[in-house]
Amino acid sequence: MGGVAQSDLRVTITDGKGKELLTFKMGAEERYLISTNDNSITNRKLSRDDRYWSKETIMEVVREMASKN
């Protein structure tokens, strides 16, 4: 994997067969939380305040991890 992008990126998520499931624009140094639930994919842009994860963000990650176990 290369270094940090210096310009906007177009992010595309595909399934194992190459079918496009989600596409979104991502600016340099932006951060997103991507999750799957009930056969759907969602993305949420993390704010600069989330750089040091908020309780809400940590709980969201924990819920996602717990649902996989």
| pLDDT score for 17 | 92
Whether residue 1 is predicted with pLDDT greater than 60 in this model: the reply is: no
12-59 pLDDT, tens digit per residue, is 888 889 999 888 888 877 888 888 877 788 878 877 766 667 778 888
pTM as predicted: 0.49
Residue 28 in contact with residue 4, Cβ under 8 Å?
A: yes
Bridge partners (DSSP) of residue 40 are 37
